[in-house]
Amino acid sequence: MTDQMQHIVLASRPDGAPKDGNFRLETTGIPVPSDGEVLIKTHYFSLDPYMRGRMDDTKSYAASIPLGGLMEGGAVGEILVSNSPSFQTGDFVFSMTGWATHGVADAREIRKLNPSIAPITTALGVLGMPGFTGWYGLTELGKPARNETVVVAAATGPVGSMVGQMAKLRGLNAVGIAGNSEKCRLATVKYGFDACIDHRAFDSARDLREALAPHCPNGIDIYFENVGGKVLESILPMMNPFGRIPLCGMIAWYNAGGLGADAAAEGLTGPRIWRTILVKHLAVQGFIISNHFDRYPDFLKEVGPHVASGALGYGEDIAEGLETAPSAFQSMLIGGNKGKQIVKVI
Protein backbone atom coordinates (compact mmCIF):
# COMPACT_ATOMS: atom_id res chain seq x y z
CA MET A 1 0.00 0.00 0.00
CA THR A 2 1.33 3.44 -0.93
CA ASP A 3 1.97 5.87 1.92
CA GLN A 4 0.77 8.89 -0.10
CA MET A 5 -2.73 10.20 -0.74
CA GLN A 6 -4.27 13.13 -2.60
CA HIS A 7 -7.13 15.43 -1.73
CA ILE A 8 -8.71 18.66 -2.95
CA VAL A 9 -8.95 21.66 -0.65
CA LEU A 10 -10.64 25.06 -0.82
CA ALA A 11 -7.89 27.41 -2.00
CA SER A 12 -9.98 30.61 -2.08
CA ARG A 13 -13.60 31.64 -1.71
CA PRO A 14 -15.50 32.07 -4.98
CA ASP A 15 -16.95 35.38 -6.09
CA GLY A 16 -20.02 34.16 -7.93
CA ALA A 17 -19.57 30.88 -9.81
CA PRO A 18 -16.63 28.74 -8.62
CA LYS A 19 -13.50 28.74 -10.77
CA ASP A 20 -10.60 26.30 -11.05
CA GLY A 21 -8.47 28.61 -8.93
CA ASN A 22 -10.80 28.18 -5.95
CA PHE A 23 -9.55 24.59 -5.58
CA ARG A 24 -6.12 23.06 -4.98
CA LEU A 25 -4.97 19.45 -5.35
CA GLU A 26 -2.57 18.39 -2.59
CA THR A 27 -0.48 15.31 -1.86
CA THR A 28 0.05 14.27 1.76
CA GLY A 29 0.81 11.21 3.82
CA ILE A 30 -1.98 8.74 4.46
CA PRO A 31 -3.35 9.20 8.01
CA VAL A 32 -3.21 6.41 10.58
CA PRO A 33 -6.52 5.42 12.20
CA SER A 34 -6.80 5.48 16.00
CA ASP A 35 -8.81 3.10 18.16
CA GLY A 36 -12.41 2.97 16.95
CA GLU A 37 -11.47 4.35 13.53
CA VAL A 38 -10.98 2.89 10.07
CA LEU A 39 -8.85 3.82 7.08
CA ILE A 40 -10.83 3.88 3.82
CA LYS A 41 -9.63 3.85 0.23
CA THR A 42 -12.16 5.92 -1.72
CA HIS A 43 -13.64 4.47 -4.89
CA TYR A 44 -16.23 7.17 -5.61
CA PHE A 45 -17.34 10.43 -4.02
CA SER A 46 -20.37 12.63 -4.46
CA LEU A 47 -20.72 16.16 -5.82
CA ASP A 48 -23.82 17.97 -4.55
CA PRO A 49 -25.20 21.51 -4.89
CA TYR A 50 -25.11 22.14 -1.12
CA MET A 51 -21.30 22.14 -1.32
CA ARG A 52 -21.42 25.53 -3.05
CA GLY A 53 -22.85 27.13 0.08
CA ARG A 54 -20.10 25.63 2.22
CA MET A 55 -17.53 27.49 0.11
CA ASP A 56 -18.84 30.89 1.28
CA ASP A 57 -17.90 32.43 4.61
CA THR A 58 -21.50 33.07 5.62
CA LYS A 59 -23.70 31.91 8.47
CA SER A 60 -25.81 28.91 7.51
CA TYR A 61 -27.15 25.65 8.90
CA ALA A 62 -23.64 24.15 8.73
CA ALA A 63 -20.14 25.54 9.13
CA SER A 64 -18.23 26.89 6.14
CA ILE A 65 -15.22 25.02 4.83
CA PRO A 66 -12.12 26.86 6.09
CA LEU A 67 -9.55 28.06 3.59
CA GLY A 68 -7.15 25.20 3.04
CA GLY A 69 -9.77 22.77 4.32
CA LEU A 70 -10.81 19.55 2.61
CA MET A 71 -13.78 19.82 0.25
CA GLU A 72 -16.40 17.84 2.11
CA GLY A 73 -18.82 15.25 0.81
CA GLY A 74 -20.07 11.69 0.92
CA ALA A 75 -17.89 8.89 -0.39
CA VAL A 76 -17.94 5.13 -0.82
CA GLY A 77 -14.91 2.92 -0.61
CA GLU A 78 -13.11 -0.07 0.86
CA ILE A 79 -11.69 -0.41 4.35
CA LEU A 80 -7.91 -0.91 4.31
CA VAL A 81 -7.34 -0.87 8.08
CA SER A 82 -9.95 -1.39 10.79
CA ASN A 83 -9.46 -0.58 14.46
CA SER A 84 -13.11 -1.34 15.18
CA PRO A 85 -14.74 -4.71 15.88
CA SER A 86 -17.74 -3.60 13.82
CA PHE A 87 -15.84 -3.58 10.50
CA GLN A 88 -13.40 -5.82 8.68
CA THR A 89 -10.68 -5.11 6.16
CA GLY A 90 -12.31 -5.31 2.74
CA ASP A 91 -15.74 -4.07 3.86
CA PHE A 92 -17.34 -1.48 1.58
CA VAL A 93 -18.71 1.53 3.43
CA PHE A 94 -20.26 4.96 3.05
CA SER A 95 -18.43 7.76 4.85
CA MET A 96 -18.06 11.55 4.80
CA THR A 97 -14.39 11.55 3.83
CA GLY A 98 -14.77 14.13 1.05
CA TRP A 99 -12.81 14.85 -2.11
CA ALA A 100 -9.89 12.53 -1.40
CA THR A 101 -8.29 9.24 -2.37
CA HIS A 102 -8.24 8.06 1.27
CA GLY A 103 -9.77 9.03 4.56
CA VAL A 104 -9.99 8.09 8.22
CA ALA A 105 -13.44 7.89 9.79
CA ASP A 106 -14.95 7.08 13.16
CA ALA A 107 -16.52 3.64 12.87
CA ARG A 108 -19.68 4.98 14.54
CA GLU A 109 -20.19 7.43 11.66
CA ILE A 110 -19.96 5.10 8.65
CA ARG A 111 -22.39 2.64 7.09
CA LYS A 112 -21.61 -0.80 5.70
CA LEU A 113 -22.67 -1.46 2.09
CA ASN A 114 -23.49 -4.72 0.33
CA PRO A 115 -22.31 -4.58 -3.32
CA SER A 116 -24.26 -7.76 -4.10
CA ILE A 117 -27.56 -5.94 -3.45
CA ALA A 118 -26.87 -2.70 -5.33
CA PRO A 119 -23.81 -0.96 -6.84
CA ILE A 120 -21.97 1.00 -4.16
CA THR A 121 -22.50 4.23 -6.13
CA THR A 122 -26.22 4.05 -5.30
CA ALA A 123 -25.30 4.99 -1.71
CA LEU A 124 -24.36 8.41 -3.10
CA GLY A 125 -27.53 8.91 -5.11
CA VAL A 126 -30.77 6.98 -5.41
CA LEU A 127 -30.28 5.09 -2.10
CA GLY A 128 -28.30 7.86 -0.44
CA MET A 129 -28.83 11.42 0.72
CA PRO A 130 -30.30 12.76 -2.58
CA GLY A 131 -32.83 9.96 -2.97
CA PHE A 132 -33.77 10.19 0.68
CA THR A 133 -34.21 13.95 0.31
CA GLY A 134 -36.69 13.49 -2.53
CA TRP A 135 -38.59 10.74 -0.73
CA TYR A 136 -38.84 12.63 2.56
CA GLY A 137 -39.74 15.96 0.98
CA LEU A 138 -42.55 14.47 -1.07
CA THR A 139 -44.02 12.01 1.39
CA GLU A 140 -43.67 13.96 4.64
CA LEU A 141 -43.98 17.58 3.50
CA GLY A 142 -45.78 17.29 0.15
CA LYS A 143 -48.44 15.00 1.66
CA PRO A 144 -49.38 13.59 -1.76
CA ALA A 145 -52.87 12.31 -2.52
CA ARG A 146 -54.00 10.29 -5.52
CA ASN A 147 -54.95 12.31 -8.63
CA GLU A 148 -53.22 15.46 -7.39
CA THR A 149 -50.67 17.27 -9.57
CA VAL A 150 -47.05 17.67 -8.54
CA VAL A 151 -44.54 19.79 -10.43
CA VAL A 152 -40.87 18.96 -9.89
CA ALA A 153 -38.02 21.34 -10.69
CA ALA A 154 -34.69 19.80 -11.77
CA ALA A 155 -36.70 16.72 -12.65
CA THR A 156 -33.88 14.46 -13.85
CA GLY A 157 -31.50 15.05 -10.95
CA PRO A 158 -31.22 12.48 -8.17
CA VAL A 159 -33.70 14.36 -5.98
CA GLY A 160 -36.20 15.33 -8.67
CA SER A 161 -36.27 11.92 -10.35
CA MET A 162 -37.04 10.30 -7.00
CA VAL A 163 -39.90 12.75 -6.38
CA GLY A 164 -41.43 12.15 -9.80
CA GLN A 165 -41.26 8.37 -9.60
CA MET A 166 -42.59 8.18 -6.06
CA ALA A 167 -45.42 10.52 -7.09
CA LYS A 168 -46.38 8.20 -9.96
CA LEU A 169 -46.31 5.18 -7.63
CA ARG A 170 -48.84 7.07 -5.48
CA GLY A 171 -51.15 7.84 -8.38
CA LEU A 172 -50.34 11.52 -8.97
CA ASN A 173 -49.97 13.49 -12.18
CA ALA A 174 -46.25 14.35 -12.30
CA VAL A 175 -44.92 17.22 -14.40
CA GLY A 176 -41.21 17.88 -14.60
CA ILE A 177 -39.17 20.98 -15.37
CA ALA A 178 -35.65 20.51 -16.71
CA GLY A 179 -32.89 22.43 -18.46
CA ASN A 180 -32.99 21.09 -22.02
CA SER A 181 -34.99 18.89 -24.36
CA GLU A 182 -32.75 15.87 -23.80
CA LYS A 183 -33.39 16.00 -20.06
CA CYS A 184 -37.11 16.36 -20.71
CA ARG A 185 -37.09 13.19 -22.80
CA LEU A 186 -35.23 11.44 -20.01
CA ALA A 187 -37.85 12.60 -17.51
CA THR A 188 -40.76 11.16 -19.47
CA VAL A 189 -39.16 8.05 -20.99
CA LYS A 190 -36.97 6.85 -18.11
CA TYR A 191 -38.60 8.32 -15.03
CA GLY A 192 -42.25 8.19 -16.08
CA PHE A 193 -43.21 11.85 -15.75
CA ASP A 194 -46.46 12.63 -17.55
CA ALA A 195 -44.84 15.68 -19.15
CA CYS A 196 -41.69 17.77 -18.86
CA ILE A 197 -41.02 21.37 -19.87
CA ASP A 198 -37.64 22.80 -20.89
CA HIS A 199 -37.45 26.03 -18.88
CA ARG A 200 -34.51 27.32 -20.96
CA ALA A 201 -36.78 27.44 -24.00
CA PHE A 202 -38.71 30.36 -22.49
CA ASP A 203 -37.49 33.89 -21.84
CA SER A 204 -40.01 34.81 -19.18
CA ALA A 205 -41.87 33.26 -16.29
CA ARG A 206 -45.15 34.11 -18.03
CA ASP A 207 -44.17 32.12 -21.14
CA LEU A 208 -43.07 29.18 -19.02
CA ARG A 209 -46.35 29.30 -17.10
CA GLU A 210 -48.33 29.22 -20.35
CA ALA A 211 -46.36 26.15 -21.45
CA LEU A 212 -47.06 24.40 -18.15
CA ALA A 213 -50.78 25.18 -18.07
CA PRO A 214 -52.00 22.44 -20.48
CA HIS A 215 -50.25 19.81 -18.36
CA CYS A 216 -51.74 21.13 -15.11
CA PRO A 217 -55.41 21.67 -16.08
CA ASN A 218 -56.51 21.44 -12.45
CA GLY A 219 -53.73 23.62 -11.07
CA ILE A 220 -50.75 22.52 -9.00
CA ASP A 221 -51.14 20.89 -5.60
CA ILE A 222 -47.46 20.25 -4.81
CA TYR A 223 -44.42 22.07 -6.10
CA PHE A 224 -41.11 20.45 -5.17
CA GLU A 225 -38.67 23.37 -5.18
CA ASN A 226 -35.08 22.71 -6.20
CA VAL A 227 -34.37 25.72 -8.41
CA GLY A 228 -35.90 29.13 -7.55
CA GLY A 229 -35.58 31.97 -10.08
CA LYS A 230 -37.84 32.07 -13.12
CA VAL A 231 -39.22 28.61 -12.41
CA LEU A 232 -40.57 29.58 -8.98
CA GLU A 233 -42.05 32.77 -10.40
CA SER A 234 -43.90 30.78 -13.05
CA ILE A 235 -45.28 28.25 -10.57
CA LEU A 236 -46.63 30.38 -7.71
CA PRO A 237 -49.71 31.76 -9.54
CA MET A 238 -50.66 28.21 -10.57
CA MET A 239 -50.68 26.78 -7.06
CA ASN A 240 -54.04 25.58 -5.79
CA PRO A 241 -55.38 26.79 -2.44
CA PHE A 242 -53.84 24.81 0.40
CA GLY A 243 -51.03 23.65 -1.90
CA ARG A 244 -47.72 22.45 -0.46
CA ILE A 245 -44.19 23.53 -1.40
CA PRO A 246 -41.35 21.42 0.03
CA LEU A 247 -38.40 23.80 -0.23
CA CYS A 248 -35.32 21.69 -0.90
CA GLY A 249 -32.97 24.03 -2.78
CA MET A 250 -32.64 27.12 -4.97
CA ILE A 251 -29.73 26.33 -7.26
CA ALA A 252 -30.52 29.23 -9.61
CA TRP A 253 -29.39 31.60 -6.84
CA TYR A 254 -26.49 29.67 -5.27
CA ASN A 255 -23.75 31.42 -7.21
CA ALA A 256 -25.30 34.82 -6.45
CA GLY A 257 -24.97 34.24 -2.72
CA GLY A 258 -28.71 34.64 -2.12
CA LEU A 259 -31.68 36.26 -3.84
CA GLY A 260 -29.79 39.39 -4.86
CA ALA A 261 -30.16 41.21 -8.15
CA ASP A 262 -31.32 38.20 -10.17
CA ALA A 263 -34.53 37.90 -8.16
CA ALA A 264 -35.19 41.63 -8.28
CA ALA A 265 -34.76 41.68 -12.05
CA GLU A 266 -37.39 38.96 -12.36
CA GLY A 267 -39.84 40.82 -10.16
CA LEU A 268 -39.79 38.08 -7.54
CA THR A 269 -40.10 40.46 -4.60
CA GLY A 270 -40.84 39.60 -1.00
CA PRO A 271 -44.31 41.22 -0.89
CA ARG A 272 -45.39 39.37 -4.02
CA ILE A 273 -44.20 36.02 -2.70
CA TRP A 274 -45.79 36.43 0.72
CA ARG A 275 -49.09 37.72 -0.63
CA THR A 276 -49.41 34.65 -2.87
CA ILE A 277 -48.64 32.36 0.05
CA LEU A 278 -51.20 34.17 2.17
CA VAL A 279 -54.15 34.31 -0.21
CA LYS A 280 -53.66 30.74 -1.44
CA HIS A 281 -53.12 29.35 2.09
CA LEU A 282 -49.91 27.67 0.92
CA ALA A 283 -47.76 25.52 3.19
CA VAL A 284 -44.10 26.26 2.40
CA GLN A 285 -41.66 24.13 4.36
CA GLY A 286 -37.91 24.46 4.08
CA PHE A 287 -36.01 21.41 5.22
CA ILE A 288 -32.46 20.19 5.70
CA ILE A 289 -32.37 16.43 5.27
CA SER A 290 -29.62 15.91 7.87
CA ASN A 291 -32.26 16.72 10.52
CA HIS A 292 -34.39 13.76 9.48
CA PHE A 293 -32.11 10.75 9.22
CA ASP A 294 -34.19 8.93 11.81
CA ARG A 295 -36.49 8.20 8.83
CA TYR A 296 -33.71 6.78 6.67
CA PRO A 297 -34.51 3.13 7.51
CA ASP A 298 -38.13 3.72 6.43
CA PHE A 299 -36.87 5.17 3.16
CA LEU A 300 -34.63 2.16 2.47
CA LYS A 301 -37.44 -0.24 3.35
CA GLU A 302 -39.78 1.33 0.80
CA VAL A 303 -37.40 2.37 -1.97
CA GLY A 304 -34.74 -0.36 -1.81
CA PRO A 305 -36.94 -3.09 -3.32
CA HIS A 306 -38.04 -0.78 -6.16
CA VAL A 307 -34.40 -0.09 -7.05
CA ALA A 308 -33.43 -3.78 -6.78
CA SER A 309 -36.29 -4.83 -9.07
CA GLY A 310 -35.59 -2.11 -11.62
CA ALA A 311 -39.02 -0.56 -11.10
CA LEU A 312 -37.40 2.69 -9.97
CA GLY A 313 -34.77 4.09 -12.32
CA TYR A 314 -31.77 6.27 -11.61
CA GLY A 315 -29.00 7.97 -13.53
CA GLU A 316 -25.36 8.63 -12.75
CA ASP A 317 -22.83 10.95 -14.38
CA ILE A 318 -19.35 9.70 -13.45
CA ALA A 319 -16.26 11.86 -13.92
CA GLU A 320 -12.99 9.93 -14.05
CA GLY A 321 -10.20 10.92 -11.67
CA LEU A 322 -9.91 13.02 -8.52
CA GLU A 323 -8.50 15.95 -10.49
CA THR A 324 -11.73 16.24 -12.52
CA ALA A 325 -13.83 17.09 -9.46
CA PRO A 326 -13.60 20.91 -9.70
CA SER A 327 -14.67 21.06 -13.36
CA ALA A 328 -17.43 18.48 -12.82
CA PHE A 329 -18.68 20.46 -9.83
CA GLN A 330 -18.75 23.72 -11.77
CA SER A 331 -20.64 22.05 -14.62
CA MET A 332 -23.18 20.52 -12.23
CA LEU A 333 -24.03 23.93 -10.76
CA ILE A 334 -25.15 25.16 -14.20
CA GLY A 335 -27.03 21.99 -15.12
CA GLY A 336 -24.32 20.16 -17.04
CA ASN A 337 -25.21 16.80 -15.49
CA LYS A 338 -28.17 14.59 -16.37
CA GLY A 339 -28.21 12.46 -13.21
CA LYS A 340 -26.29 12.10 -9.97
CA GLN A 341 -22.84 13.64 -10.33
CA ILE A 342 -20.13 11.31 -9.02
CA VAL A 343 -16.34 11.25 -9.25
CA LYS A 344 -14.54 7.94 -9.71
CA VAL A 345 -11.22 7.93 -7.88
CA ILE A 346 -9.77 4.58 -9.03
Which carries the bigger pLDDT value, residue 101 or residue 270?
Answer: 101
Model pLDDT, residue 256: 54
The residues that bridge with 250 in the sheet, in sequence order, are none
> Does one domain contain both 49 and 75?
yes
For 230-241, the pLDDT digits (tens) are 888 899 999 999
DSSP class of 82: E
> Does one domain contain both 101 and 194?
no
Last residue in a domain, options 289, 306, 336 = 289
Answer whether residue 285 is part of any domain.
yes
> Does one domain contain both 89 and 142?
no
The total number of structural domains in the chain stands at 2
Residue-level length of the chain: 346
The residues that bridge with 316 in the sheet, in sequence order, are 340
CATH code, domain with 81: 3.90.180.10
Model-level pTM greater than 0.85?
Answer: yes
For 12-31, the pLDDT digits (tens) are 999 999 999 999 999 999 99
How far apart CA 235 and CA 256 sit, in angstroms, is 21
Answer whether residue 113 is part of any domain.
yes
Model pLDDT, residue 262: 41
DSSP class of 138: I
Q: Which of 155-159, 219-223, 252-256 is modeled with the greatest confidence?
A: 219-223
Model pLDDT, residue 147: 98
For 280-305, the pLDDT digits (tens) are 999 999 999 999 999 999 999 999 99
Residues 6 or more apart in contact with residue 305 via CB below 8 angstroms: none
> Does one domain contain both 254 and 136?
yes
- Residue range of the domain that includes 46: 4-125+314-344
DSSP class of 258: S
Give how far Cα 1 sits from Cα of 61, 81, 122, 233, 344, Å.
38, 11, 27, 54, 19
Answer whether residue 304 is part of any domain.
no
> Does one domain contain both 106 and 162?
no
Answer whether residue 25 is part of any domain.
yes
Which conformational region is residue 86 in: left (phi greater than 0), alpha (psi within -120 to 50 degrees), or beta?
A: alpha
Pairing of strands 173-178, 4-10: unpaired
